[in-house]
Amino acid sequence: MTAPLADTTVRAPARTPAEKLSRLLGHAPVHVALGVVGLIWLLPTVGLLVTSFRPRSDIQNSGWWTIFGGNVDLTLENYELVLGADLAAQTMLQAFLNTIQITIPSTILPLLLASMAAFAFAWIKFPFRDTLFLAVIALLLVPIQMVLLPLGEIYRDLGLIGSFLPIWITHTTFALPFGIFLLRNFFITLPKDLIEAARIDGATNVGIFRQIVLPLSVPALASYAIFQFLWVWNDLLIALVFAPRPGGQPMTTQIGSLLGTYGAEWHILAAASFLVMVVPLAVFFSLQRFFVQGLLAGSVK
């Protein structure tokens, strides 16, 4: 019988407790600095969250940080006013629903179109492919402010004013160049042998795109979807120009009307402002793993 081969794997020597402590202390300044920066960035959000639950009288008489000194008097009345039964609250609740109706199509449409175009630029040979890709990249330099007036005239001539369709089209159009650039750069890092083997087996471009490229590109697709979702949810300019009136305003524009009507009602403004923030925060933290993977995609081939 053949003698088993000896295990020649080189194993790193185990670190002693002193070495582990030295390594931890060596990285301590970096960790402390990052913790301080994170705390500074998070502090306004924490203050807004605490303020949104404090009664109006407490907001007017003391700062939100007094809650850590034992002055704990929290209430849900602020959110009941924002999402409750009065006129302004009904408008804010409708604005929340309008924001969802604007954001979801404006995220799905560019994701679908950009992924298909990126696949074509990465794996399908056609005339002037590189030239067209450079033209798409050049569109990143076009500011949206330059085309708002012509787009408004086009939408008016087509009879689209008064619906969410102009907002969907505008967000999709201006999201495509960045999406094509991002996804194409990820698609070209996929194994070439895998794509060629699928073509030898008779797979069409549609089949390769659906069964190979998309399943392997989930991190990049999720990263782009997060970018686009946050961009559309927090958008103010396009909503101000193209949102249907009345009754079609998203939350970003409705906050402005609350500020004009309830200039001193900080408890209502705090609750409404946190409602604008809570959905993007939930989306980001729930998909953070895909976001980090997408940022690192292609760094090591």
pLDDT of residue 27: 64
214 occurs within a structural domain: yes
Q: What range defines the domain where residue 204 resides?
A: 79-296
Between CA 242 and CA 244 the distance in angstroms is 6
pLDDT of residue 277: 85
Q: List, in order, residues 6 or more apart from 47 with CB less than 8 Å away.
A: 64, 65
Q: Are 254 and 92 in contact (CB under 8 A)?
A: yes
AA letter at 260: G
pLDDT of residue 47: 85
Between CA 7 and CA 3 the distance in angstroms is 12
210 occurs within a structural domain: yes
64 occurs within a structural domain: yes
Q: List, in order, residues 6 or more apart from 253 with CB less than 8 Å away.
A: 95, 236, 239, 240, 243
Number of domains in the chain: 2
pLDDT of residue 262: 54
Tell the residue number behind the tokens 């794997």, with chain if given: 9
**Long-range contacts (CB closer than 8 Å, 24 or more residues apart) made by 193-196:** 195/123
Between CA 226 and CA 169 the distance in angstroms is 19
pLDDT of residue 10: 47
Between CA 244 and CA 155 the distance in angstroms is 12
pLDDT of residue 198: 87
Answer yes or no: do 56 and 168 share one domain.
no
151 occurs within a structural domain: yes
What is the reported pTM?
0.78
Answer yes or no: do 122 and 266 share one domain.
yes
Q: Which two structure tokens, joined as six digits, stand for 257?
A: 């009307």
Among the residues of the chain, which ranges form H helices?
17-52, 56-61, 77-83, 87-123, 129-138, 148-158, 165-187, 192-200, 205-208, 214-216, 218-233, 237-242, 251-261, 266-286, 288-296
11 occurs within a structural domain: no
Q: What is the dihedral of CA 43, 44, 49, 50, to 10 degrees?
A: 70
Answer yes or no: do 90 and 177 share one domain.
yes
pLDDT of residue 267: 78
7 occurs within a structural domain: no
Tell me the average confidence (pLDDT) per consecutive run of 10 residues in the chain, 301 residues long.
49 57 64 83 85 82 79 79 60 85 94 94 90 91 87 89 90 93 90 88 88 88 89 90 83 75 70 84 77 55 44
Domain boundary residue, one of 9, 35, 69: 69
Q: Which two structure tokens, joined as six digits, stand for 113?
A: 């179109």
Q: Are 149 and 119 in contact (CB under 8 A)?
A: no
